Structure 1
Amino acid sequence: MLFQSLFPLIALYAAWTNASAFTFILGAQEKSCFYVFTERPNTQIRYYFAVQSGGSFDVDYVITDPNSNIIYQEHKKRQGDFVFPATTVGEYEFCFSNGMSTYSEKVVDFEIELEDEDSKSVKASLPDSPNAKPLAHVENMKRTVDKIESQLEGLSKTLQYYKTRNNRNQATVRSTESRIYYFSIFEVLLMVGMAFLQITIVQLFFKGSRKQLV
């Protein structure tokens, strides 16, 4: 049975830049959908997701526009970081599916950011005083702010990448430890079984020898 969890919990408006980041659990054979609402056309939507744990660290996902047209659809993806233009005003749907897994749940990091062209222009300009000429240090300060913002965004992406790699490596270590543990138990049981079999064979051998002597 396919369980579907709908989370209409994101309402982002294109009058300014918004970002939402959260982590959710996607159960086996489960589908979770999230929604983004835009009020203006020509909106840039950036989304990032990464499977932190569970199974083969992969999920299926599909993105549809307000007219139910599929924008992106991919299968068995471990992570993604994309930007696409939301030209149509309305509600965009992001759905993640774990239908390929029969028992393993997935932990998924999901981040979405919305920004329109008007917000970019407002963000890029500073209010000037009437009859005032642009000052060189103001322009330098604006460039410095933009550079710092770009570096912070790159740092955030790098931290997300290392977080994902760390979680996957820990899962691999736990899986390896579990396999070693169960293999050791199997080896001990096999040795005990072989010893018992050898004792039984030796006992049968001596019993047979005694019968021959009699």
Structure 2
Amino acid sequence: MRFSLLLMVCALCSVSQAALTFILGAHENVCFGVFTDQPRTSISYYFAVQSGGAFDVDYTIKNPRGEVIVTEDKQRQGDFIINADIAGEYELCFSNSMSTYAEKVIDFEIKVENDKNDFKANMPDQPNAKPKAHIENMGKTVDKIDQKLDELLRAIQYYKTRNNRNQATVKSTESRIYYFSIFEVLLMVGMAGLQITVVQLFFKGSRKQLV
């Protein structure tokens, strides 16, 4: 399966972003593509396996030439930035081929940002405009706020992932305790039945010797 997000970076929109949650079935491969028509573009990816199996997945990132940039196996989450020097479509593929039956729920986010310096350099001078230094300071403040918001969002996503994994661990532990308790009860009943049978055979043998 393959999906194209088509996050095109243009001169009027410096940042494009998309986030989604999807289910990756057993033995299934899913690819997402993001397109940029400008070089010197920053593409950031984030994903986290929320549930399923051992909370791991294989992933591969390819550039527009089809060359593999990053490939890793059995990762629970990933947070990385690619400097896209080549214009075209970049592809991120997830694979659950190692799983025999467990499907995975994955949170996934892509953010594309072009080179802001080129955009600022092309801004025309306007009459009665504020000093450039003041405008640059405002831009830096906005960038810091945006960075802090991204960090806050990632922290929330991290705690969400940890909470889901802890809940899955608790449920798995409860299930194991439940089945172990049933097995222990059955074992005790079986041992009691075996002891009763041995005692009955012992007394039957003693009676035959007395006769």
Give the alignment's TM-score, normalised by structure 2: 0.90
The aligned residue for residue 47 of structure 1 is 45
* 2:144 aligned residue: 147
Q: Which amino acid aligns with 2:83?
A: P
Match of residue 7 from structure 1: 3
Output aligned runs, 1:1-214, within 5 Å.
5-8=1-4, 10-15=5-10, 16=13, 17-118=15-116, 122=119, 129-134=126-131, 141-214=138-211
Judged with a 3 Å threshold, the aligned counterparts in structure 2 of structure 1 residues 106 and 34 are, in CA distance, closer, same or farther, namely same
Deviation, structure 1 residue 136 = 7.9
Give CA deviations for 1:69-111 in whole Å, capped at 9, x if unaligned: 1111111111110001111121111110011111111111110
Deviation at 1:148, TM superposition (A): 2.2
SS at 1:183 equivalent: helix
Structure 1 residues 31-51: Cα deviation after superposition (integer angstroms, max 9, x where no partner) = 111111111111110000111
Give the whole-Å Cα distance in 2 for the aligned partners of 1:183 and 1:126. 70
Letter of the 2:205 partner, please give it: G
Q: Distance in 1 between matches of 2:37 and 2:21?
A: 26
1:145 CA displacement = 2.9
Structure-2 change in CA distance of 1:145 and 1:92 (3 Å):
closer
Q: Which amino acid aligns with 2:188?
A: M
How far, CA to CA, are the matches of 2:37 and 2:93 in structure 1? 21
CA–CA distance in structure 1, aligned partners of residues 58 and 82 of structure 2: 18
Report the 3-state secondary structure (helix = DSSP H, G, I; strand = E; otherwise coil) of the residue aligned with 2:102: coil
CA drift of 1:150 comes to 2.0
RMSD: 2.3
Return the letter of the residue paired with 1:134.
Answer: P
Query: How many residues matched?
Result: 208
Aligned-pair identity in percent equals 65
Could you list the runs of 5+ residues in structure 2 that have no partner in the other structure? none
Q: CA deviation at 1:133?
A: 4.6
The amino acid of 1:186's aligned partner reads F
Q: Give the TM-score, by structure 1 length.
A: 0.89
Gaps of 5+ in 1: none
Residues 191, 127 of structure 1: alpha-carbon distance in 2 compared, 3 angstrom cutoff = farther
